[in-house]
């Protein structure tokens, strides 16, 4: 179940959802459109010949800040991190980030796989932007970039992302290696 526009507005007023800045015109029937921020993290493609997350081998990155009113050229086949203008989160709802159909139709992938924001996580979300088109796409701070939907939990969670999350202290970083999941122990025959 997802919150309706009325429920989203009510939850923001009750401070059950943090969403700053909130603009009424971005509220949709069952979602909220978030805007692209000014910060991008770009790979330096010449610093490594491959990426190996398990062994913490990543390209060097640099941070690029784009002023309001200016554009950032995302070339075909290039992937980078961008951030939302909005700071949001909730202790009471699971938030899902979805790409916008209008951007998907021009080949802009807004998130590769990280669509969920757990309860207790408050952030300017990192967006894994990728140009799947064969021509450059101009990205502009302030443009509608994704939609948020809000789902109530069936009960209160035992864990809180503030205590357990890897990005709970600083979401505005580049790459963080994946957690290692131990292999199950085999039974001896």
Residues designated as active site? 128
SS3 75: coil
DSSP letter for 186, please. Answer: P
35 with 145: CB under 8 angstroms?
A: yes
Nearest to 117, CA basis, from 32, 7, 37, 9: 32
Nearest to 10, CA basis, from 120, 152, 144: 152
Residue found under tokens 């970083």: 173
CA angle in degrees (0–180, nearest 5) for 142-167-13: 55
SS3 content of the chain, % helix, strand, coil (to 5): 10, 35, 55
132 backbone φψ class: left, alpha, beta (φ>0; ψ -120 to 50) = alpha
């Amino acid at each position: 179940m997802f919150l309706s526009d009325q429920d989203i507005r009510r939850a923001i007023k009750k401070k059950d959802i943090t969403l700053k800045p909130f603009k009424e015109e971005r509220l949709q029937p069952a979602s909220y459109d978030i805007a692209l921020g000014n910060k991008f993290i770009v790979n330096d493609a010449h610093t490594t010949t491959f990426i190996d997350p398990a062994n913490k081998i990543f390209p060097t990155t640099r941070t690029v800040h784009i002023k309001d009113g200016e554009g950032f050229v995302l070339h075909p086949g290039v992937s980078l991190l961008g951030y939302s203008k909005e700071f949001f989160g909730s202790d009471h709802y699971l938030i899902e980030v979805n790409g916008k159909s209008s951007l998907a139709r021009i080949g802009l992938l807004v998130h590769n796989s990280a669509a969920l924001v757990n309860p207790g996580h408050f952030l300017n979300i990192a967006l894994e932007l990728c140009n799947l088109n064969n021509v450059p796409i101009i990205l502009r701070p302030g443009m509608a970039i994704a939609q948020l939907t809000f789902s109530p939990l069936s009960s209160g969670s035992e864990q809180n992302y503030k205590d357990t999350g890897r990005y709970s202290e600083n979401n505005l970083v580049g790459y963080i290696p994946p957690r290692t999941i131990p292999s199950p122990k085999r039974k001896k025959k």
